Amino acid sequence: MSTSTINIGICGLGTVGQGVWKHIESNRAALESRLGVTLNLARASVRDLEKKRSVRIAASKLTTDPLAIATDPSIHIVCELIGGTTLARQVTLAALKAGKTVVSANKALLCKHGPQLFAAARKHGGHFFFEASVAGGIPIIKALREGLVANRFKLIYGILNGTCNYILTRMEREGLSYHAILAEAKQLGYAEADESLDVEGWDTAHKASILAFLAHGTWVPTEKMLVEGITQITQTDLAFAREHGYAIKLLAVISREADTGEVFVRVHPTLIPSTKVLANVNEVYNGISVTGDVVGETVYIGRGAGQDPTASAVISDIVDGIILLNRGNTHLPELAETRAPLTPLEAITGRYYLRLEVKDEPGVLAKISGATAKLDVSIASVLQRTSDTPGAASLILTTHQSNEKAIRSTISRLRRLSCVLGEPVLLRIADFAG
Amino acid sequence: MSTSTINIGICGLGTVGQGVWKHIESNRAALESRLGVTLNLARASVRDLEKKRSVRIAASKLTTDPLAIATDPSIHIVCELIGGTTLARQVTLAALKAGKTVVSANKALLCKHGPQLFAAARKHGGHFFFEASVAGGIPIIKALREGLVANRFKLIYGILNGTCNYILTRMEREGLSYHAILAEAKQLGYAEADESLDVEGWDTAHKASILAFLAHGTWVPTEKMLVEGITQITQTDLAFAREHGYAIKLLAVISREADTGEVFVRVHPTLIPSTKVLANVNEVYNGISVTGDVVGETVYIGRGAGQDPTASAVISDIVDGIILLNRGNTHLPELAETRAPLTPLEAITGRYYLRLEVKDEPGVLAKISGATAKLDVSIASVLQRTSDTPGAASLILTTHQSNEKAIRSTISRLRRLSCVLGEPVLLRIADFAG
Q: What strand order describes the sheet that includes A38-45?
A: A62-63, A38-45, A5-11, A77-80, A101-104, A127-129
A15 in the same domain as A60: yes
Can you tell me the distance from the alpha carbon of A168 to that of A232, in angstroms, rounded to the nearest whole number? 11
* B145 inside domain: no
Can you tell me the distance from the alpha carbon of A260 to that of A40, in angstroms, rounded to the nearest whole number? 50
Q: What confidence category does residue B2 fall into, taking pLDDT thresholds of 50, 70 and 90?
A: very low
Q: Tell me: the pLDDT tens digits for A110-153? A: 999 999 999 999 999 999 999 999 999 999 999 999 999 999 99
What residue in B sits closest to A324 (Cα-Cα)? B327
What pLDDT sits at residue B332? 62
Q: Tell me: the pLDDT tens digits for B356-399? A: 999 998 889 899 988 888 777 899 999 999 888 889 999 999 99
Can you tell me the distance from the alpha carbon of B198 to that of B190, in angstroms, rounded to the nearest whole number? 11
Contact A146 B142 (CB under 8 A): yes
DSSP A429: E
Q: What confidence category does residue A327 fall into, taking pLDDT thresholds of 50, 70 and 90?
A: low
Contact B326 A330 (CB under 8 A): yes
**CB environment A78-91: b (16+ within 10 A), e (fewer):** bbbbbbebebbbeb
Contact B294 A280 (CB under 8 A): no
Identify which of B298, B309, B335 has the shortest CB distance to residue A302. B298
Best residue in B16, B146, B288 for a mutation probing chain A (most A CBs within 10 Å): B146
* A92 inside domain: yes
Can you tell me the distance from the alpha carbon of B296 to that of A303, in angstroms, rounded to the nearest whole number? 7
pLDDT at A421 over 60: yes
- Residues in chain B closer than 8 A to A300 (CB atoms): 298-301
Report angle CA A347, A351, A354 to the nearest 5 degrees.
Answer: 120
Phi first, then psi: give them for residue A407, nearest 5 degrees: -70, -35
* A152 inside domain: yes
Q: What percent of chain B stands above pLDDT 90?
A: 82
Mean pLDDT for B202-226 is 95
Q: Which residues pair with A394 in a beta bridge?
A: A357, A385
Can you tell me the distance from the alpha carbon of B128 to that of B154, in angstroms, rounded to the nearest whole number? 26
B239 in the same domain as B175: yes
CA distance B386 to chain A (A): 32
What pLDDT sits at residue B1? 35
A26 in the same domain as A117: yes
Which residues, 6 or more positions from A327, have their beta carbon under 8 angstroms from its beta carbon? Answer: B327, B328, B330
A36: left (phi over 0), alpha (psi -120 to 50) or beta: left
**Among candidates A261, A316, A249, A289, which has minimal Cα distance to A105?**
A316
Can you tell me the distance from the alpha carbon of A10 to that of A45, in angstroms, rounded to the nearest whole number? 6
Q: Tell me: the pLDDT tens digits for A10-27? A: 999 999 999 999 999 999
Q: Where are the beta strands (DSSP E) in B143-278?
A: 153-159, 226-227, 246-256, 263-273
Contact A150 B299 (CB under 8 A): no
- Residues in chain A closer than 8 A to B281 (CB atoms): 277
Pairing of strands B101-104, B77-80: parallel
Q: What is the CATH number of the domain that holds A51?
A: 3.40.50.720
B253 in the same domain as B371: no
Inter-axis angle of helices B404-416 and B364-373, nearest 10: 140
Q: Tell me: the pLDDT tens digits for B156-195? A: 999 999 999 999 999 999 999 999 999 999 998 888 889 9
DSSP A342: B
- Residues in chain A closer than 8 A to B35 (CB atoms): 333
Contact B319 A152 (CB under 8 A): no
Q: Tell me: the pLDDT tens digits for A358-387? A: 999 888 989 998 888 877 799 999 999 988
A421 in the same domain as A361: yes
Q: Which residue would you say has higher pLDDT here, A334 or A263?
A: A263
What pLDDT sits at residue B432? 63
* A169 inside domain: yes
Q: What percent of chain A stands above pLDDT 90?
A: 82
**Among candidates A7, A162, A42, A310, which has minimal Cα distance to B150?**
A310
What pLDDT sits at residue A2? 40
Q: What is the CATH number of the domain that holds A354?
A: 3.30.70.260
B194 in the same domain as B62: no
Domain boundary among A293, A326, A359: A326
Number of structural domains (chain B) is 3
What residue in B sits closest to A28 (Cα-Cα)? B150
Contact A149 B332 (CB under 8 A): no
Q: Establish, for the pair of chains A and B, how many residue pairs have beta carbons separated by less than 8 Å.
A: 181
B421 in the same domain as B395: yes
B294 in the same domain as B180: yes
What pLDDT sits at residue A434? 38
Q: What is the CATH number of the domain that holds A224?
A: 3.30.360.10
Q: Which residues pair with B283 in a beta bridge?
A: none
Q: What confidence category does residue A330 fall into, taking pLDDT thresholds of 50, 70 and 90?
A: low
What pLDDT sits at residue A179? 96
DSSP B342: B
Residues of B catalogued as catalytic: 207
**Among candidates B326, B318, B203, B325, which has minimal Cα distance to B267?**
B203
What pLDDT sits at residue A111? 94
- Residues in chain A closer than 8 A to B152 (CB atoms): 27, 30
Contact A294 B315 (CB under 8 A): yes
Looking at B189-275, list the stretches that DSSP marks H as alpha helix, in order from N- to C-terminal side.
196-199, 202-216, 235-243
Helix (H, G, I), strand (E, B) or coil at A378: coil
A115 in the same domain as A24: yes
pLDDT at B315 over 90: yes
What pLDDT sits at residue A346? 87
B298 in the same domain as B157: yes
Can you tell me the distance from the alpha carbon of A90 to that of A86, in angstroms, rounded to the nearest whole number? 6
> What's the alpha-carbon Rg for chain B, to the nearest Å?
24
CA distance A276 to chain B (A): 8
* B212 inside domain: yes
Pairing of strands A38-45, A62-63: parallel
- Residues in chain A closer than 8 A to B39 (CB atoms): none
Residues of A catalogued as catalytic: 207
Q: Which residues pair with A8 in a beta bridge?
A: A41, A77
Q: Tell me: the pLDDT tens digits for A201-246? A: 999 999 999 999 999 999 999 999 999 999 999 999 999 999 999 9
Pairing of strands B153-159, B226-227: unpaired
pLDDT at A265 over 70: yes
| Full domain range(s) for residue A420 | 348-429
Which residues, 6 or more positions from A350, have their beta carbon under 8 angstroms from its beta carbon? Answer: A401, A402, A403, A404, A428, A429, A430, A431, A432
* B434 inside domain: no
Task: Using a cut of 0.90, tell me whether the model's pTM lies above it.
Answer: yes
A184 in the same domain as A200: yes
Distance of CA A285 to the CA centre of its chain: 12
Q: Tell me: the pLDDT tens digits for B26-55? A: 999 989 988 889 999 999 999 999 999 999
Using the Cα atoms of residue B65, residue B71, residue B75 and residue B79 in order, give the sign of their dihedral.
positive
Domain boundary among A272, A303, A334: A303
Can you tell me the distance from the alpha carbon of B129 to that of B133, in angstroms, rounded to the nearest whole number? 9
DSSP code per residue over A53-80: -SS---GGGEES-HHHHHT-TT--EEEE
Q: Are A160 and A134 in contact (CB under 8 A)?
A: yes
Q: Are B102 and B110 in contact (CB under 8 A)?
A: no
**Among candidates B308, B252, B301, which has minimal Cα distance to B111?**
B252
Contact B277 A280 (CB under 8 A): yes
Contact B302 A298 (CB under 8 A): yes
What pLDDT sits at residue A67? 98
B286 in the same domain as B158: yes
Identify which of B31, B147, B302 has the shortest CB distance to residue A297. B302
Q: Tell me: the pLDDT tens digits for B243-274? A: 999 999 999 999 999 889 999 999 999 999 99
Looking at B27-125, list the stretches that DSSP marks H as alpha helix, in order from N- to C-terminal side.
28-35, 66-70, 87-97, 107-124
Q: Tell me: the pLDDT tens digits for A283-303? A: 999 999 999 999 999 999 999
- Residues in chain A closer than 8 A to B311 (CB atoms): 150, 294
What pLDDT sits at residue B339? 81
* B364 inside domain: yes
pLDDT at B331 over 60: no
Phi first, then psi: give them for residue B205, nearest 5 degrees: -65, -40
pLDDT at A431 over 90: no
Domain boundary among A303, A337, A362: A303
CA distance A54 to chain B (A): 16
- Residues in chain A closer than 8 A to B149 (CB atoms): 31, 34, 315-316, 319
Residue type, A115: P
CA distance A69 to chain B (A): 23
* B339 inside domain: no
Contact A33 B336 (CB under 8 A): yes
**Among candidates A322, A311, A316, which has minimal Cα distance to A35?**
A322
Contact B150 A320 (CB under 8 A): no
Identify which of A27, A277, A294 has the shortest CB distance to residue B23. A294
CA distance B97 to chain A (A): 22
- Residues in chain B closer than 8 A to A169 (CB atoms): none
Q: What percent of chain A stands above pLDDT 70?
A: 96
**Among candidates B253, B245, B428, which has minimal Cα distance to B353?**
B428
